Amino acid sequence: MKKEFDENKGGITKRILVTGATGYIAARLIPILLRSGYRVRAMGRSIKKMAERSWGTHSDIELVKGDILDRDSLEKAVHGCGTVYYLVHSMISKQGEYKTADRIGAENMAAAAEAENAEHIIYLGGLGDITDKNASRHLISRNEVGEILKKGSVPVTILRAAMILGSGSASFEILRYLAERLPVMITPKWVSMPTQPIAVSNVLGYLTGCIDHPQIRGMTFDIGGPDVYSYRELFKIFAEEAGLTKPVMIPVPVLTPRLSSLWIHLVTPVPASIAQPLAEGLSIPTICTENRITKMIPQKLVNCREAIRRTLQRTLVEQIDDCRESSRLNVYPEWSVNGDAGYSGGTLFKMGYRTRVKGSRDNLWEIVEKIGGEQGYYGGNTLWKIRGAIDRLSGGVGLLPGRGSNNQLKAGDIVDFWQVFEVVPSNSLILVAKMKSPGEAFFQIRLKPCSNQEIELMILSFFKPKGIAGILYWYLLYPFHQWVFNQMSKGMTEKSGLKQITWPQQFEPVLATSCILDHDKPAAEPS
């Protein structure tokens, strides 16, 4: 049922415009607004990317293409909307470019909102004292955007936040990767700088609360969580929650924010264009100077440790099964979601081999479904036995459980040191590892129909490491996996009596679960 509001109580009946719809905050805000009964117009530069989101086909969503640098497209997007969420800012680190883009975008939005009679603009900015001599250009630009928006005739509410805790937040992902990959850190002075992070759940709570509390229009608020920590303390808290060894930090006085950003780019997958402006902002305190909003929009504030714990609770099972996220009730905004930046959610290693065979897919599937136990793995069985012995010595089950006598597998069945996660007959078998290892592992065998009675046989591996030990584990076994997967492809084909048409080729895989498997579309030609 659509929400309707009494205008005398400050409510709205018009659509809500959310700009930057595929961005980190907006993509989490939109489903909350939709679940609350609001009609939403999502604006982004790609209709296709918005449509691919879990909310992209919702009955109350309208997708529009727009760019903050294009005044006409902004006016079209704002038309008929009462509340506007301005959640766009540039992260281009080239000299002066993001400042110019941010300034023009803010001027265009203020003018478009005024021209289209919008009632309220809500802007999420950055926290920190811009008069500090070490204030970053990025923070100054974020503050300038707010000031430009306020010069227009439409009331603006500005929320200023420091680090946002949650998977997908660039600043949090930098923290995650550094803690996971560097047991020993050479640290600059900024690791002792105080900061007041806020969980993304609370950011969203304040953003949505701005709609229902008209008294906050035209006001600026600092928003933060209940804790103030140094970055050094945050690294230690993350390590404790992730079950990692606390990093050894060696302070040095010469590592500037510029050098820090280059180091972050080298160690983490976060692009330098994002890392540099974020690193530059670490040289000043980022703590709230007032807390009025906690009384005007009350909510339970999530502490740093709980926010980090929530983020890390998401298992590999849930990370790779994004297509089902809309059906789960316990999804935290702190979890990564489908469409987040590629570096979101931590390290995920992948390996895949594919080969084409000619013959009956059912015949090949019969062989696939007999994997494990006395049958073995159709290739590299000696290496599989060695891995099983290592697992036994480590306190695991090894290969001894084998498998049941039933050749038709179902979810939950045990196959040696694997458990069946999902079976799609004649199409896909997914196993999750129960062996002892420094991380989570998935193994998939997939059959995909091609043209001319051909089948593409794919053997895929996914591994989410736990700390540096997991990363070293993956690279140590990588050459063995290459050889074993190649042999398995050949062994399954020979066992099924089918004809192998192409040699196994390595490729970058994507794990496909039942809700996204395309049963009928022929596989593309391997490249």
Clarify whether residues 186 and 276 are in a common domain: yes
Whether residues 447 and 318 fall in one domain: no
Question: Looking at the structure, do residues 208 and 126 belong to the same domain, yes or no?
Answer: yes
The torsion of the CA quartet 123, 166, 223, 2, rounded to 10 degrees, works out to: 50
* 76 domain-assigned: yes
> Are 285 and 367 in a shared domain?
no
What is the rounded average pLDDT of the residues 351-366?
94
Same-domain check for residues 147 and 183: yes
Task: State whether 319 and 363 are in the same domain.
Answer: no
Reported as a pLDDT band with limits 50, 70 and 90, residue 3 is: very low
Does the pLDDT value for residue 431 go beyond 50? Answer: yes
Residue 527 falls within a domain, yes or no?
no
What residue has token string 């009632």? 119
In a domain, 5, yes or no: no
**Sequential DSSP letters for 57-125:** T-TTEEEEE--TT-HHHHHHHHTTEEEEEE-------STTHHHHHHHHHHHHHHHHHHHTT--EEEEEE
Given a contact cutoff of 8 angstroms between Cβ atoms, the answer to whether 184 and 318 are in contact is no
Tokens for 459?
């053997």
Residues 389 and 267 in one domain: no
Both tokens of 377, joined, read: 């793995």
360 and 323 in a common domain: no
The pLDDT assigned to 327 comes to 42
Confirm whether 513 is domain-assigned. no
- CB neighbours of residue 155 within 10 Å: 18
The answer to whether 424 and 448 have CB atoms below 8 angstroms apart is no
189 and 102: one domain?
A: yes
Residue-number span of the structural domain to which 219 is assigned: 11-327
Q: How many CA atoms lie within 13 A of 415 on its CB side?
A: 28
What's the pTM value of the predicted model, to 2 decimals?
A: 0.87
Whether residue 336 lies inside any domain: the answer is no
Whether the predicted pLDDT of 236 surpasses 70: yes
Closest C-alpha to 473, from 377, 343, 372, 349? 349
CATH number for the domain harbouring residue 416: 3.30.530.20
CA distance 289 to 196: 11
Considering Cα of 141, then 126, then 93, then 108, what sign does the dihedral take? negative
Q: What is the CATH number of the domain that holds 75?
A: 3.40.50.720
Looking only at the bridges linking them, the beta strands covering 418-424 and 414-415 are: antiparallel
Q: Are 313 and 236 in contact (CB under 8 A)?
A: no
Residue 524 placed within a domain: no
Domain co-membership, 357 together with 298: no
The reply to whether 156 and 230 lie within a common domain is yes
| Domain identity same for 302 and 406 | no
The residue from 327, 359, 391 where one domain ends is 327
Residue 338 within any structural domain of the chain: no
Task: Count how many domains the chain has.
Answer: 2
DSSP E strand boundaries for 338-391: 349-358
CB proximity list for 327: less than 8 A, separation 6 or greater: none
Q: What percent of the chain has pLDDT over 70?
A: 89
- The reply to whether 185 falls in a domain is yes
For residue range 147-202, list pLDDT tens digits in order: 999 999 999 999 999 999 999 999 999 999 999 998 888 888 788 899 999 999 99
Q: Residue 520's pLDDT band (boundaries 50, 70, 90)? A: very low
